[in-house]
Amino acid sequence: MSTFYVTTPIYYANGEPHAGHAYTTIAADALARYHRIKGDDVFFLTGVDEHGANIDKTAESEGLSPQAFCDKLAPIFTKLWERLNISNDIFLRTTSELHKRGIKKFLTALYESGDVYKAPYEGHYCRPCERFFPEKELSDDKICPIHKIPLEWVKEENYFFRLSKYQDRLLQHYNENPEFVYPDTRRNELLSVLESGLEDTSISRSSVSWGIPLPFDPEHIAYVWIDALPNYITALGYDADNERYHTFWPANVHMMAKEITRFHALLWPAMLMAANLPLPKQIVAHGWLTKDGEALSKTRGIFIDMDGDIATYGVDAFRYYLLREFSFGNDGDYRPTRLHQRYNADLANDLGNLLNRVLGLLNKNFDGIPAPTTPGEFDDEIKQMAQKTSETFDAHIETFAFDSALETIWEFVRRVNRYVQQTEVWTLAKPETKPRMGTILYNCLEALRYISVLLSPFIPDTAEKIQQQIGLTEFDSVAEWGRLPVDLKVSRGEPIFPRVDLKKEKAQPKKEKAKPEKKTSEKKSNLISFSDFQKMDLRVARVISAEPIEGADRLLKLEVDIGTEKRQVVAGIAEHYQPDALIGKQVIVVMNLEPATIRNVESHGMILAASDDSVVLVSPETDVPLGTQVR
């Protein structure tokens, strides 16, 4: 028996899970279930990453301790996974003892490899900011750009991992294992990063308190990624060097969204090399979901209404849609109308109706499943197609082409519908043709059983319902033709996918859009005094000229008129504003910001803009005299 270990990332638990998390997890679940029915010994991990400064901060803003915050959030993940029918074998939390023990052992091994070194880090430090400022961010007077106070020269010790040392070995690994990173676009990206050189990376954070202390120097806290990545082995029992660990490591597939491939495909393998452990076999990255063509955004209220769609169409339809519609690896646009079409066309009409019509005929004419005594035209074709479908299906799963895999099954579903049509079974109820009728119905039901097996990794509940209606009391997960027993009492239940009428849905009151989260309780430490605020010199100015800066995609060089003087300012708004459209516009300029040189262009001040996904300039409501103070 071969083994199969698949993981999702452990999701960063500083907010609730969204459709992106669900997509990754459902894809991994489909793989896990697929390998289980193939008879593999499967271990499927998901979990949450609970350490680091961001969680500390979010917890604080909610007035909770970090641990209490995590304890509140983790069940929200597990409940969603239950709802989505995720068959994970473990839900790993980085605050668990299991992980803590494992990470201690792993970091010790890393340290003993000799590739962790302590290096003094010295620089300009701002106490209120709790951070260093690189030379290039500062002007000659060395004051904090945020607090406007003189910076201290502080020397601090930090731990580094000698990532640079592994550049060649990684490159070699990539070349010898072309399938290591999938798909190729991501692989190419990482290769170009590798070829341009890796730098040693800091693995500890002294400014962070919420995390795991380095075992070889508890004064320092492990950087959150260094803490998180080894979860894939700590979850197996790496600390105890136990059987599960030896059975399942190295992992077959680390499944994830594309933005975190770098950590998984460069840093993590290098860490494993240093600790002298085997590397995972494949890093698999999928694309992002968009909603009706727009990037998901909390602040703009663009999100995928999982709850609503699941309530309308059911969990399996949601799972089906995600895996059927999107070509894995590419970004996919989530459209409720497409989900609706897929639901009615594929699930209700093709599959659901097929089951229902066959069971209807059987109920009316037979008492239990008849024996296939009377072969005839098309029978062999159906049987052969079942076999071929299964083979093609397997090939698609191997390359994560879930969409093609499902399409392959549906070709067979349609073929069986045609079989019913071609043989005109419903006309064969006369005594002399009844044995033939029974044979055809047997073939249809066996085809449906066969289909339910192939579908079970994707839509497990449905697969089970199909077999229940056929009369099987226990799920038969073997895709071999002819296993369906005769004389089973079928139970034609409710349609497994009742059609959904969109008009009815529309008549229902629309759900309220989620409001952007508000931080209600600002912490005292975030407050500034009025005199701090007064230090800022904000003025109304008019844009006189605007032009792009050579070699920079996001930058515009602006000349602004403040009434008394003119200034040159660099603004990172080129992606959102045409230069010409800016001319004549009134804007707000920060006058007393220290000058900086960006891309060889001097900037004397800063233009205010609201920005998250988009960037919108702040402008007086009506024209005011140039140079007017803004307060």
Partner RNA sequence: GCCGGUGUAGCUCAGUGGUAGAGCACACGACUCAUAAUCGUGCUGUCCGGAGUUCGACUCUCCGCACCGGCACCA
Footprint of RNA (CB under 7 A): 136-137, 145, 185, 188-189, 192-193, 258-259, 295, 325-327, 330-333, 338, 341, 344-345, 348-358, 360-361, 364, 414, 417-418, 420-422, 424-427, 495-499, 550-555, 569-573, 590, 593, 596, 598-599, 603, 605-606
User: Which helix or strand (DSSP H or E) is residue 27 part of?
Assistant: helix 19-37
Spatial distance between the Cα atoms of 145 and 483, rounded to a whole number of angstroms: 74
Kindly state the smallest distance separating residue 628's Cβ from RNA, in Å. 20
Nearer CB in complex with RNA: 517/613? 613
Kindly state the smallest distance separating residue 456's Cβ from RNA, in Å. 17
Kindly state the smallest distance separating residue 65's Cβ from RNA, in Å. 33
Burial (CB < 10 A; 0-12, 13-18, 19+), residue 195, is: exposed
Kindly state the smallest distance separating residue 598's Cβ from RNA, in Å. 4
Nearer CB in complex with RNA: 64/593? 593
Kindly state the smallest distance separating residue 277's Cβ from RNA, in Å. 27
Cα four-point dihedral sign 152, 157, 162, 163:
negative
Burial (CB < 10 A; 0-12, 13-18, 19+), residue 335, is: middle
Nearer CB in complex with RNA: 90/536? 536
| Residue among 310, 83, 283, 295 nearest 185 (CA) | 283
Residue type, 443: N
What share of residues in the chain are helix, strand, coil (percent, to 5)? 45, 20, 35
* Two structure tokens written together for 347: 């699930």
Kindly state the smallest distance separating residue 105's Cβ from RNA, in Å. 31
Nearer CB in complex with RNA: 235/571? 571
Spatial distance between the Cα atoms of 72 and 55, rounded to a whole number of angstroms: 12
| Residue among 419, 477, 413, 418 nearest 448 (CA) | 413
DSSP 554-602: S-EEEEEE-SS-EEEEEES-TTT--HHHHTT-EEEEETTSPPEEETTEE
Kindly state the smallest distance separating residue 498's Cβ from RNA, in Å. 5
Nearer CB in complex with RNA: 164/353? 353
Nearer CB in complex with RNA: 239/325? 325
Kindly state the smallest distance separating residue 15's Cβ from RNA, in Å. 20
User: Which helix or strand (DSSP H or E) is residue 60 part of?
Assistant: helix 53-61
Kindly state the smallest distance separating residue 148's Cβ from RNA, in Å. 13
Nearer CB in complex with RNA: 146/478? 146
| Residue among 2, 167, 23 nearest 81 (CA) | 23
Can you point out the beta strands (E) in 235-319? 253-257, 283-286, 289-291, 294-295
Nearer CB in complex with RNA: 478/616? 616
Kindly state the smallest distance separating residue 590's Cβ from RNA, in Å. 6
Spatial distance between the Cα atoms of 60 and 462, rounded to a whole number of angstroms: 44
Nearer CB in complex with RNA: 361/472? 361
Work out whether strand 181-182 and strand 283-286 pair parallel, antiparallel, or are unpaired: parallel
- Give the DSSP letter of residue 615: E
Kindly state the smallest distance separating residue 189's Cβ from RNA, in Å. 5
Nearer CB in complex with RNA: 37/502? 502
Asked if residues 479 and 453 have their Cβ atoms less than 8 Å apart, the reply is yes
Nearer CB in complex with RNA: 292/480? 292
What is the four-CA torsion angle of 400, 406, 412, 414, rounded to 10 degrees? -150
Residues 397-433 as b/e (b if ≥16 CB within 10 A, e otherwise) read beebbbbbbbebbbebbebbbebbeebebeebeeeee
Nearer CB in complex with RNA: 70/556? 556
The residues, any chain, with a CB within 8 Å of residue 225's CB and separated by 6 or more, are 263, 267
Kindly state the smallest distance separating residue 261's Cβ from RNA, in Å. 9
Asked if residues 91 and 82 have their Cβ atoms less than 8 Å apart, the reply is no
